[in-house]
Amino acid sequence: MPDSTSLPSAPLLTVEQLVVEYPVSGRTLSAVADVSLTVGRGETLGLVGESGCGKSTLGRAVLQLRRPTAGKVVFDGADLTALDGEALRLMRRRLQLIFQDPIASLNPRRCIGDIVAEPLVISGITDRTERERRVRDVLSAVGLDPDVVWRRLPHEFSGGQCQRVCIARALILEPELVICDEPVSALDVSIRAQILNLLEEMKQRYGLTLLFIAHDLAVVKAVSDRIAVMYLGRLCEVGPTEAVFNRPAHPYTALLLEAIPVPDPTVMPATNIATGEPPSPLDPPSGCRFRTRCPRADRLCAEKVPILHATAGGQAVACHHPLTG
């Protein structure tokens, strides 16, 4: 795997100062606040955070499924936020999304064969034999027997199988970037491992770049080259996976690592995990948004919003009192 601290080529995706806000009964919900990150060609960037941190919103904003309030999304040199209508539709083939709920992502009234062939039809491939060949190829690639699944409807399959169908549908046009939005959270443990392995395999086979969004740190660690940690709409820390896990710089990252239940009875679970719950994104704390739960918070944290800056360990952290560097 490439050493991702020095990206060999220009990044495939650059998000610049992205802001996503929307009105909720008279007030403004700040879902994503000034997030900038890059994803290099061929790498997997893991985006991790708990519910309400804005990671899913960020994923959709990158794809322009939800138009950002401000900021730019540059994909292979093209600014997606400036695209519209037909141009955007054409660009869509190169960026795909895999959803959290595999069964809800499939039209309950269409058979698997049609569902997977749909992207080809939309891009104007009219030759039926060609379509059939490509659908068969991709279905086999994800581990499903085309002859068995072609005519069946989604509700006849399990969650894991549906997720394979979703992956097949996302890959049939051979996109360059695939955003995986909690692709395994709704699946059982043993199926999770299958799907994660499948994603890695597909990444190798199709030369994909992945933006992997999840709340489970262990899952994200298993697949990512670099990790970005989000809290309440802002980035806390970004860096190579091993570095972030072994030497977390941001107190929130440390908190997340402590809270994960470890399947080893000799490891005592940490008690007295940081008190309280995340504040509401409708009314985020001033300055650093994590300060209400941070043991290191002081007056500076309430006054100034911390900016991402480099640490000695090679990560970027947004904290006035980081744990390292």
Partner 1 sequence: MAVLELEGDTAAVSPVRQSGRRLGGLFVAALLWIVLIGLAAILANVLPIVSPTDMDFLGKRAPPSAAHLLGTDQLGRDMLSRLIYGARISLTVGLLSPVIGLVIGGALGMLAGYFGGRFEALTVGGVDVLLAFPPLVFALAVTAYLGQSALNITLVIGVLSIPAFTRVARAVTLSLAQREFVVAAQTLGATHMRILLRELLPNVALPLMAFFLLAVAVTIVVEGALSFLGLGVPPPAPSWGSMIGEGRESLDIAPWLAFLPAGFMFVTVLAFNVIGDTLRALTDPRPGAL
Partner 2 sequence: MTRALLSLEDVSVELPTPRGTLRAVDNVDLSLMPGRTLGIVGESGCGKTMLSRAILQLLPKRAKLSGRVRFGGRDLAALPAESLRRLRGPELAVVFQDPMTSLNPVLTIGTQLIETLQAHLGMDGAAAARRSVDLLAAVGIPAPAQRLRQYPHQLSGGMRQRVAIAIALSCEPKLLVADEPTTALDVTVQAQILDLLAREQRRRQMAMILITHDLGVVAGRTDEVAVMYAGRIVERAPTAQLFARMRMPYTEALLAAIPKLDSPPHTALPAIAGRPPDPTRPLPGCSFSPRCRYADDHCRHAKPMLADPERSGGLYACWHPLTLPAAVGP
Contacting positions for partner 1 (CB under 8 A)? 63, 65, 89-90, 92-93, 95-97, 99-101, 104-110, 118-119, 122-123, 140, 143-145, 148-149, 152-153, 155-158, 161, 166, 169, 173, 194, 197-198, 201
Tokens of 172: 């049939």
**Residues 6+ away with beta carbon under 8 Å from 183:** 98, 99, 100, 163, 195, 199, 212, 214
**In the complex, least distance from residue 13 CB atom to partner 1, rounded to whole angstroms:** 15
Kindly state whether residue 72 participates in binding partner 2, applying the rule CB under 8 A: no
Q: In sequence order, which residues have a C-beta less than 8 Å from that of residue 197 and are 6 or more positions away?
A: none
Which of partner 2, partner 1, none has residue 83 at its interface (CB below 5 to 8 Å by kind)?
none
Shortest separation between residue 275's beta carbon and partner 1, angstroms: 35
Q: Which does 261 bind (CB under 5 to 8 A by kind): partner 1, partner 2, none?
A: partner 2
Residue 114 found at the interface with partner 2 (CB under 8 A): no
Q: Is there a contact between 54 and 233 (Cβ–Cβ < 8 Å)? A: yes
Instruction: Single out the residue of 163, 241, 253, 292 in contact with partner 2 (rule: CB under 8 A).
Output: 241
Which listed residue (65, 260, 310, 312) binds partner 2 by CB under 8 A?
Answer: 260
* Residue 263 binds partner 2 (CB under 8 A): yes
DSSP 221: H
Q: At closest approach, how far in Å is the CB of 261 from partner 2?
A: 3
Residue 277, contacted partner among partner 2, partner 1, none, CB below 5-8 A by kind: partner 2
Count of Cβ atoms closer than 10 Å to residue 225 Cβ: 21
Give pairs for 255-263: CB < 8 Å, separation 24+: 255/293, 256/48, 256/50, 256/217, 256/229, 257/217, 260/217, 260/218
Smallest distance, partner 2 to C-beta of residue 18, A: 23
Closer residue to partner 1, CB minimum distance, 100 or 253: 100
Lookup: tokens for 106: 């499939």
Q: Are 239 and 57 in contact (CB under 8 A)?
A: no
318: its two tokens:
């947004």
DSSP label at residue 314: S
